[in-house]
């Protein structure tokens, strides 16, 4: 099966045509084989009959000619497929023909040429490609005792017919395959269009319905996909509204608890404030994650990534957390929205501070991309956890052991990056640190005017 999958085309159209072609080749082989089998006996008997009749006609003609004139008449009758020679000085005795075909020709010719006393087919010529008898050499004993050697050839009556048959089958096969290709295209075309439309669907955002065309089954599939997309979007929307409302409503109780904590003795206030701060941060993370997946009405504007990086680094410095600035390329301008991009960079730096040490930020331009790099020299991320850390609410062992974070920081960064046509890449070596690379499309110089 593995070999068949590698050899067979990958597309529906290619697989359909390949299957039809294999079926046609098998059908053609069966038709040709059956045709050859059924007509071989008929053709062989027909050739034998032709040779026997020509032999009988020739013998009757020569027997009716006076012996003195036979050589002259034989020379006059000579053709490329006919030769007659009188045998003198040697009188062979007729023998029984060896081949069944020779025997049948001899018996048939003798039944037609009554004056001939004996006839023996000495040898024959066979078509090398088809195996049909196409020529014979016979010894005839006429009524007056004359012996003649006669060489006869018969046209291969099947060769022309087979060429016509093959030509017809070839033309029929080409026409059939063309019709099959057209029919397959009618099916595969709408499916390819449907697949491309489905690939463009964003279940977290309202999308244009998938156009339904082609066969009824394809139209039904498109309608089912549209229904599924609408239901999924409604589910996403309801989830977003519910989580957003829940997170927003939690802010008021948190604020009241913070005020009530002020009335507690000094020793009991700090742990409560710390817990409330963590709860507030988690609620803020949830709200930021939900907003990152929502379509924004804010237009894209040129954003200097280097200036944004300096702002974020300064804010962390004001909070007493040191973040190193490496090279910041001033050409790094992207079409984007400043607030979400700042949130993404803040999350990356916060992760580097929470789970690593000596965080640093670098901004470079590579071709048509802006690379925003945030690294640290911490313990790194476990190899098994690396593919999952960008999923919502996932936290690796190191994160859980430190008891911080909501598990939404990197998921929010991924959503913001994708909303800006970019992507987030993570590389980590345990014991040496983690490098996060945010790739964003570079703003063309001609489009940087606001």
Handedness of CA 184, 187, 190, 195 (dihedral sign): negative
All structural domains of the chain with their residue ranges: 12-161, 201-295, 298-441
The rounded distance, in Å, linking the Cα atoms of 334 and 326 is: 19
- In the predicted model, what is the mean pLDDT of residues 118-131? 67
Query: pLDDT of 194-236, one tens digit each?
Result: 777 777 776 666 677 777 776 777 778 888 888 887 887 777 7
Query: pLDDT of 290-303, one tens digit each?
Result: 666 555 556 788 99
Ranking 87-91, 146-150, 390-394, 399-403 by mean pLDDT, the lowest is: 399-403
Across all residues in the chain, what is the average pLDDT? 77
Query: pLDDT of 363-399, one tens digit each?
Result: 999 989 999 999 998 888 888 888 888 887 776 665 4
3-state secondary structure the chain: CHHHHHHCCCCHHHHHHHHHHHHHHHHHHHHHHHHHHHHHHHHHHHHHHHHHHHHHHHHHHHHHCCHHHHHHHHHHHCECCEEEEEECCCCCCCCCCCCHHHHHHHHHHHHHCCCCCEEEEEEEEECCCCCCEEEEEEEEECCCCCEEEEEEECCCHHHHHHHHHHHHHHHHHHHHHHHHHHHHHHHHHHHHHHHHHHHCCCCCCCCCCCCCCCCHHHHHHHHHHHHHHHHHHHHHHHHHHHHHHHHHHHHHHHHHHHHHHCCCCHHHHHHHHHHHHHHHHHHHHHHHHHHHCCCCCCCCEEEEHHHHHHHHHHHHHHCCCCCEEEEECCCCEEEECHHHHHHHHHHHHHHHHHHCCCCEEEEEEECCEEEEEEECCCCCCCCCCHHHCCCCCCCCHHHHHHCCCCCCHHHHHHHHHHHCCCEEEEEEECCCEEEEEEEEECCCHHHCCC
- In the predicted model, what is the mean pLDDT of residues 62-82? 82
Half-sphere exposure of 267 (CA within 13 A, CB side): 0
Quote the pLDDT of residue 422: 92
CATH of domain 298-441: 3.30.565.10
Quote the pLDDT of residue 261: 72
Strand partners, 362: 373
The rounded distance, in Å, linking the Cα atoms of 412 and 438 is: 12
Question: Do 381 and 429 touch, CB atoms closer than 8 A?
Answer: no
- In the predicted model, what is the mean pLDDT of residues 259-280? 70
User: Whose structure tokens read 């006919």?
Assistant: 82
User: Which range, 50-59, 314-323, 429-438, has the best average confidence (pLDDT)?
Assistant: 314-323
Quote the pLDDT of residue 400: 46
Ranking 188-192, 260-264, 427-431, 443-447 by mean pLDDT, the lowest is: 443-447
Q: How far is CA 153 from CA 100, 124, 157, in A?
A: 18, 9, 12
Same fold across 201-295 and 298-441:
no
pLDDT at 13 over 70: no
Quote the pLDDT of residue 304: 93
Query: pLDDT of 97-108, one tens digit each?
Result: 467 777 787 778
Quote the pLDDT of residue 132: 61
Residues in the chain: 450
CATH of domain 201-295: 1.10.287
Quote the pLDDT of residue 425: 92
User: Which range, 4-8, 181-185, 418-422, has the best average confidence (pLDDT)?
Assistant: 418-422
- In the predicted model, what is the mean pLDDT of residues 283-287? 66
The rounded distance, in Å, linking the Cα atoms of 260 and 269 is: 10
The rounded distance, in Å, linking the Cα atoms of 154 and 389 is: 86
Quote the pLDDT of residue 449: 57
The rounded distance, in Å, linking the Cα atoms of 59 and 98 is: 21
pLDDT at 279 over 50: yes
């Amino acid at each position: 099966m593995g070999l068949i999958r590698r050899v067979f085309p990958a597309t529906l159209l290619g697989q359909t045509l390949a299957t039809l072609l294999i079926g046609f080749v098998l059908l053609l082989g069966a038709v040709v084989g059956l045709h050859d089998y059924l007509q071989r006996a008929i053709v062989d008997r027909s050739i034998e009959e032709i040779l026997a009749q020509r032999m009988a006609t020739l013998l009757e003609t020569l027997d009716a000619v006076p012996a003195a004139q036979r050589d002259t008449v034989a020379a006059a009758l000579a053709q490329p497929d006919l030769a007659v020679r009188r045998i003198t000085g040697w009188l062979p005795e007729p023998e029984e023909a060896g081949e069944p075909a020779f025997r049948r020709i001899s018996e048939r010719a003798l039944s037609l040429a009554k004056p001939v006393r004996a006839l023996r087919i000495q040898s024959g010529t066979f078509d090398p490609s088809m195996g049909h008898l196409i020529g014979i050499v016979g010894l005839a004993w006429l009524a007056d005792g004359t012996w003649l050697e006669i060489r006869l050839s018969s046209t291969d009556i099947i060769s022309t017919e087979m060429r016509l048959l093959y030509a017809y089958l070839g033309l029929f096969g080409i026409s059939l395959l063309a019709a099959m290709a057209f029919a397959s295209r009618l099916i595969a075309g709408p499916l390819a269009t449907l697949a491309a439309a489905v690939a463009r669907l964003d279940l977290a955002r309202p999308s244009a319905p998938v156009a339904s065309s082609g066969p009824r089954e394809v139209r039904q599939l498109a309608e089912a996909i549209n229904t599924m997309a609408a239901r999924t979007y409604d589910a996403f929307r309801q989830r977003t509204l519910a989580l957003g409302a829940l997170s927003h409503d939690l802010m008021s109780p948190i604020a009241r608890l913070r005020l009530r904590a002020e009335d507690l003795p000094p020793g009991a206030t700090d742990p409560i404030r710390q817990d409330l701060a963590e709860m507030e941060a988690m609620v803020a993370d949830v709200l930021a994650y939900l907003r990152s997946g929502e379509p924004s009405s804010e237009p894209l504007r040129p954003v200097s990534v280097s200036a944004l990086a300096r702002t974020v680094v300064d804010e962390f410095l004001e909070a007493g957390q040191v973040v190193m600035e490496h090279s910041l390329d001033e050409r790094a301008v992207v079409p984007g929205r400043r607030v979400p991009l700042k949130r993404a960079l803040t999350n990356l730096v916060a992760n580097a501070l929470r789970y690593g040490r000596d965080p640093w930020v670098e901004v470079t331009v590579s071709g048509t991309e802006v690379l925003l790099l945030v690294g640290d020299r911490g313990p790194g991320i476990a190899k098994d956890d690396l593919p999952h850390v960008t999923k919502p609410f996932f936290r690796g062992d190191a994160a859980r052991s430190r008891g911080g974070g909501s598990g939404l920081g990197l998921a929010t960064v991924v959503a913001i990056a994708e909303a800006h046509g970019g992507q987030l890449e993570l590389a980590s070596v345990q014991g040496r640190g983690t490098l996060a690379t945010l790739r964003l499309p570079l703003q063309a110089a001609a489009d940087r005017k606001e």
